Amino acid sequence: MKITIGTRRSKLAMWQAHYVKDQLEQEGIDIELIPIETKGDKILDVSIAKIGSKGVFTEELEQMLAEGTIDLAVHSAKDLQSILSEGFEIIAFSAREKEHDVLLSFNKSFRLDNPDASFVIGTSSTRRIATLAHYYPNISTVEMRGNLQTRIAKLESGYCDALLLAYAGVARMGYNEMVNQDLPLNIFTPAVGQGSLAIEVAKELSAEKKKRIREILNNPIAELKLLAERAYLKKLKGGCSIPAFANAQINHDQIVLTAGIFSLDGRQLICKTHSGALSDPESIGSKAGEDVLNSGGDKILAQINRELNR
């Protein structure tokens, strides 16, 4: 069997693609890897929220899947829109790296919880910007797009005092030694899917290939968590450009999902916790989404769309 993998061209995306490639090759599958640039990689002078495409990191890869140029696409699960385009499906989620956010700084004494300090933090995430505005109003942010290496170079040049990033990407790129603060999940609740990889295919891919890919790559525990998280985001009809968050944990025989949304300015926050049986993760996420929307999340989303001119 031969399988062709499509991926973004950044160093982190290539790490992720090679991670998948290695697992498949260990099972005797012949692999070809095709790297490309997506819209989100090319447009670096505009925030993700303002580009206006839910498939900002996936559209070109989905086109290749539809054409049969590639058999599967490797995505950071947090970059994957909650509602896939017609004709595509996710058939596997990788084992999850630690899903929390971290601060990177060359100043090892840097901490967020210094109320008298006035720091500048680099981030391109609406969720992280809103979280900072809500909990740390003394801290300002600056737009930070580009790959991890580009961001670290900007940090070193004094563009900002620290970077706010997902631990998973930092660890995969080998920058653990630069982490000077691990941020708590109960405050910096991560983006949906953060820390996991999603394997997307065209529905028309052969059943034999789908079955083999899923057998090798899918992690059942990660899948349960991500199905709950993604069902929540689907209820909000959201993608990676809105300040929504969700994190599922497994407690004995229950999935416990914490999920919510901020207004863009961080002033409003709605957060709910729902739990349920392992057998129905999507129902838990959907109920959490309904609860958030009915508690004022619908008004926050409407305001976000107005502010982003959608």
Helix axes 11-26, 148-156, angle to 10 degrees: 140
Angle value at C-alpha 97, between 5 and 189, nearest 5 degrees: 115
Distance (Å, rounded) from C-alpha 46 to C-alpha 193? 23
DSSP 133-188: HHH-TT-EEE---S-HHHHHHHHHTTS-SEEEEEHHHHHHTT-GGGEEEEPPTTTS
Q: Which two tokens stand for residue 181?
A: 């603060």
Q: Which two tokens stand for residue 293?
A: 């929307």
In this structure, are residues 236 and 94 in contact, taking their beta carbons and an 8 Å threshold? Answer: no
Catalytic hit among 30, 45, 71, 79:
79
Angle value at C-alpha 74, between 73 and 80, nearest 5 degrees: 95
Distance (Å, rounded) from C-alpha 251 to C-alpha 248? 10
Q: Known catalytic residue: 291?
A: no
Distance (Å, rounded) from C-alpha 185 to C-alpha 243? 15
Which sequence positions are flagged as catalytic?
79
